[in-house]
């Protein structure tokens, strides 16, 4: 099942962040992203797979974070997440079965019901957890996306090999 997952679609608020919107007078919203999620997203891309961001809000911080992580597919301002999801399918030529969608709230229900592997974060609404094939142990903004990536790549038998690339070469004679 997850061996065939090729596209990871991520909600932002409540998934890549803890869902709090820090509003600063006369300035934009402040969003806090978790560094562990960033590392895992890089690993996911290094495995030759795609990642996309799909969010109802619009924020320069999201564009900036996506740019840092090399995420090319960023759809902001999509209240109707199903239409955003369908647009990603069209543009990337992805089938429902090949998509894992990670969400936390009602807006995510439709694409979650459509995709091959719906995931809810620990902090998601109960109704969202109910339609999920997998619920993370970590909450949004606290490394939940890293957990999803590890889960999918482990099932595909690739996680250890991908992480091994970051280790020093083994020393002869040492286990
Ligand atoms: Mg959300």
Q: Which domain holds residue 109?
A: 2-162
In this structure, the number of other CB atoms found within 10 A of the CB of residue 110 comes to 18
Percentages helix, strand, coil for the chain (3-state, rounded to 5) are 40, 15, 45
Q: For residue 128, what are the contacts with CB-CB under 8 A and spacing of at least 6?
A: 103, 104, 105, 106, 108, 109, 112, 120
Q: How many angstroms does the Cα of residue 14 sit away from the middle of ligand 1?
A: 4
CATH number at residue 54: 3.40.50.1000
Read off the pLDDT of residues 99-143 as tens digits, 9 standing for 90 and up: 999 999 999 999 999 999 999 999 999 999 999 999 999 999 999
pLDDT at 174: 63
Q: What is the DSSP letter of 96?
A: G
Is 11 domain-assigned? Answer: yes
Residue 168 located in a structural domain: no
Residue 174 belongs to some domain of the structure = no
> Does residue 42 lie in a domain region?
yes
In a domain, 8, yes or no: yes
122, 124, 125, 130: CA torsion to nearest 10: -70
Ligand 1 centroid to Cα of residue 55, in Å, is 7
Assess if residue 167 is contained within a domain. Answer: no
Give pLDDT, residue 86: 98
Return all residues near 96 (Cβ < 8 A) that are at least 6 apart. 89, 114, 115, 116
Q: Please state the domain count of the chain.
A: 1
Distance 140 CA to ligand 1 centre (A): 9
pLDDT tens, 45-74? 999 999 999 999 999 999 999 999 999 999
Q: How confident is the model at residue 175 (pLDDT cuts 50, 70, 90)?
A: low
**From the CA of 22, how far away is ligand 1's center (Å)?**
15
Q: Which residue in the block uniquely carries the two structure tokens 């089938």?
A: 95
Compute the distance from residue 45 Cα to the ligand 1 centre, in Å.
22
% of the chain residues with pLDDT over 70:
97
Q: What is the pLDDT of residue 1?
A: 47
Position 172 in a domain? no
Looking at residue 171, what DSSP letter applies? Answer: P
Residue 82 domain-assigned? yes
CA separation, residue 20 to residues 57, 123, 162 (Å)? 13, 12, 32
**104 alpha carbon – ligand 1 mean position (Å):** 5
Mean pLDDT for the chain overall: 94
- With cut-offs at 50, 70 and 90, classify the pLDDT of residue 24: confident
Residue 89 C-alpha to ligand 1 middle, in angstroms? Answer: 20
């Amino acid at each position: 099942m997850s061996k065939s997952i090729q596209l990871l679609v991520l909600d932002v608020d409540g998934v890549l962040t803890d869902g709090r919107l820090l509003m600063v007078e006369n300035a934009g919203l402040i969003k806090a992203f978790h560094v562990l999620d960033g590392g895992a997203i890089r690993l996911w891309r290094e495995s030759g797979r795609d990642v996309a961001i799909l969010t109802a809000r619009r924020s320069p911080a999201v564009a900036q974070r996506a740019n840092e992580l090399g995420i090319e597919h960023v759809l902001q301002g999509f209240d109707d997440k199903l239409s955003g999801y369908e647009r990603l399918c069209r543009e990337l030529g992805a089938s429902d079965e090949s998509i894992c969608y990670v969400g936390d709230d009602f807006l995510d229900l439709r694409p979650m019901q459509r995709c091959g592997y719906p995931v809810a974060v620990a902090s998601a609404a109960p109704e969202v957890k109910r339609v999920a094939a997998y619920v993370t142990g970590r909450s949004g903004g606290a490394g939940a996306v890293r957990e999803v990536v590890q889960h999918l790549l482990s099932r595909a038998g690739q996680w250890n090999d991908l992480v091994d690339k970051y280790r020093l070469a083994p020393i002869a004679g040492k286990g």
